[in-house]
Amino acid sequence: MSLHNLDNLYRQTIMAYAQHPHHYKPMLGTEGYHIQKYNPTCGDVIDLAFNMVDDRVTDIHFYGDGCAISKASASMMTDLVVGKNRDQMMQLVDQFSKMARGEASDVKSLGEAQVLAGVTKFPTRIKCATLAWHALDELLSVEK
């Protein structure tokens, strides 16, 4: 597959997630963990919330306005963390952050979120791709 075709496939994947995001719904007010993050560079806003039972995510969702990269990244992230414990989620956040900075070599555990590795070529889009991940990181640092 040519590089052009590969880039096109990645764009299509991002657009599919952005147009039909998984785990996208308004906040209910009953979530155990909730945070709102804002990217002042482009105006993306995300509300992220989840519940945990026995140290595992049982429900996670996000809501907000953002660009295709921001929404796709949040959707991919929420797919990845369902059923994960705090340590597993922290590892995924760390790996995604490294990938977004161009420092990760093995990103298989990120699943389809690997397609966002291309943001390293566009520094202004890195914040779009990492917004949801920063929100998750901040929520995980809160002790409940």
State how far the Cα of 34 lies from the Cα of 98, in Å rounded to an integer. 24
Domain positions in the chain are: 3-140
List the CATH code of the domain at 3-140: 3.90.1010.10
The pLDDT profile of the chain, 144 residues, written as one tens digit per residue, is: 444 444 666 788 899 999 999 999 999 888 999 999 999 888 999 999 999 999 999 999 999 999 999 999 999 999 999 999 999 999 999 999 999 999 977 889 999 999 899 888 888 889 999 999 999 999 998 855
Residue 56, SS3?
strand
Tokens in use for 76? Answer: 């991919």
pTM of the model: 0.91
State how far the Cα of 133 lies from the Cα of 144, in Å rounded to an integer. 19
